[in-house]
Amino acid sequence: MRGKPEPARVKRIYSEGIYRSIEIQSESLAKEAYPGSFLMLWIPGVDEIPFAIASSHGDSVEILVGPPRGEATKALHNISIGDLLGVRGPLGRPLPDIGSKVLLVGSSHGVSYLRFYFERYRKKVRKALLIDDGRGIPYVSVFRRDGVDLDLLYDVEGLLTTFSRSIEETDLAIICIEESIGRKLAEMLVVKGVKGYICVERPIKCALGLCGSCDIGIYRSCLEGIFIEASNLVTTEYGFWTRDRSGLRIPIPGSQGSPPELPQRIVEPDPMLSIEISGLLMPNPLMNASGCGVSGRILYRYAIEGAGAVVTKSLGLEPRRGFRGPVMVEDPPSIYINSLGLPNPGVDGYVAEIADAKKAGVPVIASIFGKAPEEYAEAAKKISAAGVDAIELNISCPHTEFEMVEDIPELVRDVARSVKRAVKIPVFVKISANSDYIDVARKAVEGGADGITAINTLRGYMYDPIFRRPLLNSPKGYGGVSGPSLKPILRRVLADIREEVNVPIIAVGGIDSVRDIIELSMQGARGFQICSAIAYKGFNVFREILDDLRSYLRNIGVRSYREFLEGLKRS
């Protein structure tokens, strides 16, 4: 149930102070749920948002809904027993079954996670500290009923004093609390050497580890959270800033100082794998594809894991929050369709992310989009001034109003020309198979493009017969299809354009193995972008491919990837 929403009925509703507790009937979800897990809940026609799984029993799971504020919570305060919702999950990393003197700390809806842990591991829990933030404390009766040592607290100073005293007799702390306080508790745990896991709240959209909306530091909270170990969390921006749905940094009220700086990496050229693409010097030919990750810190992580260059989220002149959910579906496994809607904080809001990404020690490529040559040129000029090493022009997003650019090859030429006049760094144009891509590629090169990136996602559509509506929440229900199914289409496009353009080609579309790299190299590609495989293979997909590429080159008796490419020219 991880990949797409499955139908589930509302079984029971009851009040928990100002909160509303909703029991959802889903036998498979109830069976698989675990402490620390969350689900994505789809309210058809409204949105898809995350909720902690507060309890699991029989054929149902329970969630806790806060006071009605946004459209989703307002809708959930108006639903009735028997109504149909969509659920997917359980998601998130399980809380570990360790410790024998566990301390629980929580407030408001964060108590949901603590309740599930408490019900599953009651004998491990020594004490619970629940904080009233002015909205009441849910589920107090659950903790009282089982006789745990329970403290109800009403101010931050009282919490800090009690927590400091309590961790002296604790071997594990589970914390779900307001972030400004959570940072202080995390630092106290690290100083005392007590293991702790802290709930991290970030905007979760795809919940599959691809879109980057929930990035925190070098972690993705949807996959490597929701609970992150305190010793890891204190190395991130946790407690200093969060993000809105566009990815823009939002300071945490009351925060002071700044998070630890990322160390500057120095990446030496790899004699066996280094390559130059249109003047861009890279330690190896692998990159992430645009759209995989929002923050500069997650781009830094890609470089740590082996990427030879990193590519930003597509950026426009103005911030965009993107579409409401569902924004991504995985069905069948490893095949994705997304309608994120180009969420981004805008080029001005992304400057700080570039500064973080540059510390990775590999080239940073900025993806930008717009509707007119002037928009592209202005965005390119601004982001170039931030220090990026190259520009990639996204002219081919298949589910937004910006897709019209590649539908007019002459406009593509004008866009490329305007950007080349505005910047002095390499410019690549990203095309798709949704249009007359041969003519688009030709016109891009006419406009001065230094390279072609092929291909963007394919336009697709998913419909649910039970809900009788499209699964994706874009205006027309369209989305971009990605994953291994794109491989034969990518190969067709390369076969068609390699003789039509005299610039380097960067291949993207379902790449997940060294075989792809070898075959696409033989078809004329010189760089390779990876995205979907990061979800189903993990970050180590970069290392895996690089190790296999070195082995392949040794086995065929060549000294380097560059020598391999030279051999292809002669054959």
Q: Which residues form the catalytic set?
A: 397
Beta-carbon-side half-sphere exposure of residue 22 (alpha carbons within 13 Å): 27
Kindly report the number of other CB atoms within 10 A of residue 317's CB atom: 16
Give whole-number Cα distances, 249 to 151, 158, 216, 263, in Å: 34, 30, 11, 20
Amino acid identity of 308? Answer: G
Measured CA to CA, the distance from residue 506 to residue 452 in angstroms comes to 6
Reported residue count of the chain is: 571
- Taking a C-beta distance cutoff of 8 angstroms, is the pair 196, 173 a contact? yes
Backbone φ and ψ of 14, nearest 5°: -150, 160
Measured CA to CA, the distance from residue 569 to residue 418 in angstroms comes to 33
- Taking a C-beta distance cutoff of 8 angstroms, is the pair 376, 368 a contact? yes
Measured CA to CA, the distance from residue 441 to residue 523 in angstroms comes to 16
Give me the residues paired with residue 480 across strands: 338, 459
- Taking a C-beta distance cutoff of 8 angstroms, is the pair 264, 361 a contact? yes
- Taking a C-beta distance cutoff of 8 angstroms, is the pair 276, 286 a contact? no
What angle in degrees, to the nearest 10, is found between the helix axes of 514-522 and 487-497?
Answer: 20
- Taking a C-beta distance cutoff of 8 angstroms, is the pair 104, 114 a contact? yes
Amino acid identity of 324? Answer: R
Measured CA to CA, the distance from residue 94 to residue 106 in angstroms comes to 18
Q: What is the CA radius of gyration of the chain?
A: 25
Annotate 245-293 with DSSP letters as a single string.
Answer: TT--EEEPTT--S-PPPPPPP-----TTT-EEETTEEESSSEEEPTTS-
Measured CA to CA, the distance from residue 155 to residue 173 in angstroms comes to 20
Backbone φ and ψ of 438, nearest 5°: -65, -50
The DSSP symbol for 309 reads B
**Is residue 203 classed as helix, strand or coil in its secondary structure?**
coil
Structure tokens belonging to residue 463:
């419909």
Residue that has been written with the tokens 């403290």 in this structure: 151
The DSSP symbol for 237 reads S
